[in-house]
Amino acid sequence: MVASSVLGFPRIGANREVKKAVEAYWAGKITADELTKAASETKKSNWTSIKAHGVDIVPSGDFTLYDHVLDHSASFNVIPPRYQGKNLSPLDVYFAMGRGRQADGVDVPASEMKKWFDSNYHYVVPEFSEAVEFKLNFNKQLEEFQEAKALGITTRPVVLGPISFLVLGKASKEASPNFEAISLLPKLLPIYVTLLTQLKEAGVEWVQIDEPILVLDSGASYEKQFAQAYAELAKIGIKSLLTTYFGRLDTNLNFVAKLPVAGLHIDLSREPGQLEATVEALKSTPIVLSLGLVSGRNIWKTDFAAALKLARVAVEGLGADRVIVATSSSLLHIPVTLASEKKLTEQQKDWFSFALEKAEEVAILAAALSDSQDPKVASALEANRVSIAKRREFESSSDDKVRKRVDGITPEMLNRKSAFVKRREAQKAHLDLPKFPTTTIGSFPQTSEIRQARAKFGKKEITQEQYEEFIKKEIRSVVEFQEKVGLDLLVHGEPERNDMVQYFGEQLHGFVFTQNAWVQSYGSRYVRPPIIVSDVSRTGPMTVRWSSYAQSVTKKPMKGMLTGPVTILNWSFPRVDVSREVQSKQLALALRDEVIDLEKAGIYAIQVDEPAIREGLPLRRVDWDNYLTWAVDSFRLATAGVEDSTQTHSHFCYSDFNDIFPSIQRLDADVISIEASKSDMKLLSAFKQYGYSNEIGPGVYDIHSPRVPGEQEIKDRIAAMLKLLPDHLLFVNPDCGLKTRGWKETEASLENLVAAARWARQTY
């Protein structure tokens, strides 16, 4: 018998119940007990519906009120000193670590968050030092196992593995200079032993131990620690499923296959190529192989025929009893259920499969492999065959014109007419910007008035005309504000945008939008990524109207504002039938037309934001070059169609450029703006060392907090920057867009920024 399993489930509730409860708790509207109760409801509904869809192995211990890695830190007592001794309940310490706390005399910032591998989920980074005293504060895995058991469901608890837990963390401020978290392994293992022993005593047979770092190049350097840790855990006598996802084991398979574990899970949705070697390596062992055939990362229906073909390789090699059919990873990265979508067409619904539907998929696949005589299985296979065939037919009849255009991309289309130095002269004459030009990153405060107007327009409570008048009024006032403050290169403020990706997706051909398909991004912040379903093209200008209106009300130059192709792609659910490269280039061509239209409309500075370029980097270093080549080419394709005298900008919301300087340079944007206020000047020395040659605006203040930076503080920053960057290349701007800020601090901050830039003009 082939068993079916799900590795983890969305923790947000089918109707975002968990967000609502958590935020109500933060606002003091419900008690901790009421929060626990709301959480229990969601867990219960997850377990029972996974079970009801026929899945054999149901996960528990994967639920969280904020982040599962944070749960792990709290459970293992990895709590930085700054959150301790504040007289807070354990729950409030937990939330303080996740999101900071500023109330009743307590003022602590949130812990750092990082992207979870190459997904859009953020985890709270554990902080380690020699002083950490591991202990088991609570056992979430045990509690949830018992909670599910009380409902009559026996689950397989999920726990983050010891090596990944340490490696995904960072050294805290308290740590000594050469400290490495992995050195704590001997101290940490006894806590895992306690945790797993408690599970065993409660009757747990199998536990899923996640070690996703095994798909990274760096995983190889922990061979010794893996051997040590899993030898220790094997003594407990609980069966562990060593779980990897998002990538391939590659050579790590050599030592992984020798670990004393009862099972191994691999991601075959991402990396089907690793199947044969894995089966080969496991043949001489008793290890059970869990096949990640149903994607936990995308929302497309699984092609059963293709999945079964792969699965049969494993069944033939290892025998049905040693094979499990599973989701590739936790399903936390996809929305809960397609059943909530009321506006998708029948045709569209037939393409997709969300978390609950994927649970059913693993059950059907396992039944099919177990030679089930159940007629329902046969009809499900047939229905899937028909759906997949229809989808293929739709794909092949997609947009020929767009495909031809991608095929016809020439090298010249990627190049500006002249080199930067020459362009710079043309732009100086054309834009007439002073030395140390001041600008902002695009958005201005999104007030509740703006959000309400957008909502009313969405509900047709106001007419198109009324809405446009409202947006124009907003633009006018943002322009007047910038003139008053004395900024040099203006923006229109982005009041018409709900979101920097959704706004473009809604206007491009080839996207589909959902009503309720929320996915957790971090904590209680959920996003609703658009879905790319077919070849992408522009149906008409998307931003020209707003930018040219903004330009018409000022004599100062206006900067057009677009989201770049790689960012739109990364923050959407992509298609799986064509490569990401092709989708990115289709987006780039659409944006190229927009850029050229903006220029025709008299907009001579155009910013194409690419904050997601870095997070799209593949997990394995050997795959980087290929990605960076098409990603940078896409940006160039989008921006290179303009005259020398038009200034192109790009913006990145991070400061980690290590290893990608050549690609940042190759973007060949005339000006880039980057987050720099929180990093020390190391970042700029790295730019200098690399010899970055174009204009650059390192953010002079942090926009993530309402704090107003003083004029002197900004002057000092500029002075420090000028020690590292040539004065003729420096722009002065904030770290990122201002949409989450209030007007009061925005005004005060920008006044100081302008005053500091004026001072610099006199001084340098």
Question: What does 760 bind: Zn ion, ligand GLN, none (CB cut-off 5 to 8 Å by kind)?
Answer: none
**Is residue 704 flagged as an active site residue?**
yes
Q: Which one, 574 or 699, has the nearer CB to ligand GLN?
A: 699
Q: Which of 265, 333, 704, 728 is catalytic?
A: 704
Q: Which one, 242 or 561, has the nearer CB to ligand GLN?
A: 561
Report which of 598, 669, 658, 604 is spatially closest to residue 632, judged by C-alpha positions. Answer: 669
Q: Residue type at 438?
A: T
Give the H or E element holding residue 173.
Answer: none
Please state the closest distance from residue 494 (CB atom) to Zn ion, in A: 12
DSSP-based helix, strand, coil % in the chain, nearest 5: 50, 15, 40
Report which of 170, 239, 66 is spatially closest to residue 75, judged by C-alpha positions. Answer: 66
Q: Interacting stretch for Zn ion, rule CB under 5 A, among 6-14, 24-32, 566-574, 650-658?
A: 650-658
| Under rule CB under 5 A, residue 736 binds Zn ion | yes
Around Cβ 203, how many Cβ atoms within 10 Å?
10
Report which of 281, 290, 340, 339 is spatially closest to residue 310, judged by C-alpha positions. Answer: 290
Candidate residues 242, 364, 653, 721; the one interacting with Zn ion per rule CB under 5 A: 653
Under rule CB under 5 A, how many of the chain's residues touch Zn ion?
A: 2
Restricting to residues 462-491, name those near Zn ion by CB under 5 A.
none
| Under rule CB under 5 A, residue 674 binds Zn ion | no
With 0-12 / 13-18 / 19 or more C-beta atoms within 10 angstroms meaning exposed / middle / buried, residue 736 is buried
Residues at the site binding ligand GLN, with contacts judged by CB under 6 A? 441-443, 494, 500, 561, 609, 611, 651, 653, 736-737, 739
Question: What does 505 bind: ligand GLN, Zn ion, none (CB cut-off 5 to 8 Å by kind)?
Answer: none
Question: What does 80 bind: ligand GLN, Zn ion, none (CB cut-off 5 to 8 Å by kind)?
Answer: none
Restricting to residues 693-722, name those near Zn ion by CB under 5 A.
none
Please state the closest distance from residue 699 (CB atom) to Zn ion, in A: 9
Distance CA 710, CA 715 (A): 9
Report which of 604, 682, 520, 702 is spatially closest to residue 62, judged by C-alpha positions. Answer: 520
Question: What does 592 bind: Zn ion, ligand GLN, none (CB cut-off 5 to 8 Å by kind)?
Answer: none
Q: Which one, 512 or 653, has the nearer CB to ligand GLN?
A: 653
3-state DSSP of 605-657: EEEEECCCCCCCCCCCHHHHHHHHHHHHHHHHHHHCCCCCCCEEEEEECCCCC
Please state the closest distance from residue 692 (CB atom) to ligand GLN, in A: 20
Question: What does 739 bind: ligand GLN, Zn ion, none (CB cut-off 5 to 8 Å by kind)?
Answer: ligand GLN
Please state the closest distance from residue 447 (CB atom) to ligand GLN, in A: 14
Question: What does 416 bind: Zn ion, ligand GLN, none (CB cut-off 5 to 8 Å by kind)?
Answer: none
Question: What does 445 bind: ligand GLN, Zn ion, none (CB cut-off 5 to 8 Å by kind)?
Answer: none
Please state the closest distance from residue 546 (CB atom) to ligand GLN, in A: 13
Q: Which one, 609 or 668, has the nearer CB to ligand GLN?
A: 609
| Under rule CB under 5 A, residue 6 binds Zn ion | no
Residue 332 CA to chain centroid, in angstroms? 12
| Under rule CB under 5 A, residue 683 binds Zn ion | no
Distance CA 615, CA 330 (A): 20
Report which of 592, 579, 661, 588 is spatially closest to residue 626, judged by C-alpha positions. Answer: 579
Around Cβ 662, how many Cβ atoms within 10 Å?
11
Please state the closest distance from residue 630 (CB atom) to ligand GLN, in A: 21
Q: Which single residue brings its beta carbon nearest to ligand GLN?
A: 737
Count of helix runs (H) and strand runs (E) in the chain: 27, 23
Residues within the interface to Zn ion (CB under 5 A): 653, 736
Which residues are designated catalytic?
704
